[in-house]
Amino acid sequence: MEFWYRPRATWQAYLLSPLSGLMGRVVRHRAQSRHAGRYKAPVLVVGNIAVGGTGKSPAIQAIVRALTNRGLHCGIVSRGYGGRAPQYPYPVRMDSPANEAGDEPLLLARSLHCPVVVDPDRDRAVRFLLDTHEVDVVISDDGLQHYRMGRDFELVMVDGLRGLGNGRLLPSGPLREPASRLRLADWVVAKARAPAGLDVDAVLVLNPTRPSRHDGSILPEGIEADVCAGIGHPEAFLEQIRGQGYRVRHLLTPGDHKAIPRERLDDASVPLILTEKDAIKLSLPWPEHCYVARLEPELPNEFIDQLEDAIRRHRHG
């Protein structure tokens, strides 16, 4: 909601304040059930305290690739939003349908080639993953507020542009938990840039690639195209595409975890530029007029050093 990100609280925020007070009591009650790690491998939760796209999936991609290059075997657990599996726990395969696995778990499995398990019960997902795979660390895609799941480390993502908004709890603001929750996390990482007034441990750099088709051909600069962004913060993706020199005719926002309208996929009058998360829902090969703009996320080596050291010390502690 737009008023969440105004510098001062608006009348809508004040009107919803009583509900935010109720939310605060619920949050405090749930947080009392927080468990430390209790599994045979450490668990790192990558989550957020604000709703919307804060860069969790790109952060996980950057972390898993970096740790894998350093000899650590990673596994991922996820709630699987947008999917409904035939049974849980659900091991994600390369050919799993997105409507079963969920778009983000399928994207992570295909891009990282590591085990991914989906289950609304994250504690059960962790145990299943550890029973079926030899991994050095389990990474939870979201789940910061899923306190039944034990955790050894917490990494909280913050949107570098929007920060924590007006700093209020839902529904008068964008926060799932109070801003003070950041002090309990092991690391705070900002997407794209460090937000004003907030100390962070690292900045996740999102290196955009030029939109390409399934056959690898690149969309020429200066072309007019439609843009589809079914993600938490579509405006950032739109600015990325414009910054690459493309003329945007329409921005389609089907909503986070939602499918692209069939009629738009059938309209080939202009190219359609998709996020990687949207493209994962399509069958291969994509329609010829569809181009995917991927991101190459990257975290500083110094931060990965800290993360690796913490994981190895925990395993040998």
Query: Do 194 and 277 have their domain in common?
Result: no
d(CA 252, CA 209): 20
Is there a cis peptide before residue 171, judged by omega within 30 degrees of 0? yes
Query: Do 248 and 303 have their domain in common?
Result: no
pTM for the full predicted model:
0.92
d(CA 34, CA 24): 16
Pairing of strands 137-141, 295-298: unpaired
For 196, phi then psi, to 5°, come to -60, 135
pLDDT of residue 29: 58
Please choose, from the candidates 111, 271, 235, 99, the residue with its C-alpha nearest in 3D space to the C-alpha of residue 161: 235
Query: Do 81 and 180 have their domain in common?
Result: yes
For residue 58, what is the domain's CATH number? Answer: 3.40.50
Query: Do 12 and 159 have their domain in common?
Result: yes
Query: Do 91 and 238 have their domain in common?
Result: no
Q: What is the pLDDT of residues 82-132, one digit of tens each?
A: 899 999 999 999 999 999 999 999 999 999 999 999 999 999 999 999 999
Query: Do 40 and 163 have their domain in common?
Result: yes
Residue 203 has pLDDT above 80, yes or no: yes
Query: Do 196 and 263 have their domain in common?
Result: no
The answer to whether the CB of 3 falls within 8 A of the CB of 10 is yes
d(CA 116, CA 268): 35
Query: Do 234 and 89 have their domain in common?
Result: no
Query: Do 225 and 309 have their domain in common?
Result: no
Domain that holds residue 183: 2-205+298-315
pLDDT of residue 33: 65
Query: Do 148 and 13 have their domain in common?
Result: yes
Average pLDDT over every residue of 273-299: 92
Q: What is the pLDDT of residues 207-257, one digit of tens each?
A: 999 999 999 999 999 999 999 998 878 888 999 999 999 999 999 988 766
Query: Do 196 and 95 have their domain in common?
Result: yes
Average pLDDT over every residue of 4-8: 78
Q: What is the pLDDT of residues 16-61, one digit of tens each?
A: 776 766 666 766 656 666 666 789 999 999 999 999 889 999 999 9
Query: Do 71 and 176 have their domain in common?
Result: yes
**Per the structure, how many domains does the chain have?**
2
Catalogue the E-assigned strands of the chain: 43-48, 74-78, 90-91, 116-118, 137-141, 153-159, 187-191, 202-208, 224-228, 247-252, 272-275, 290-293, 295-298
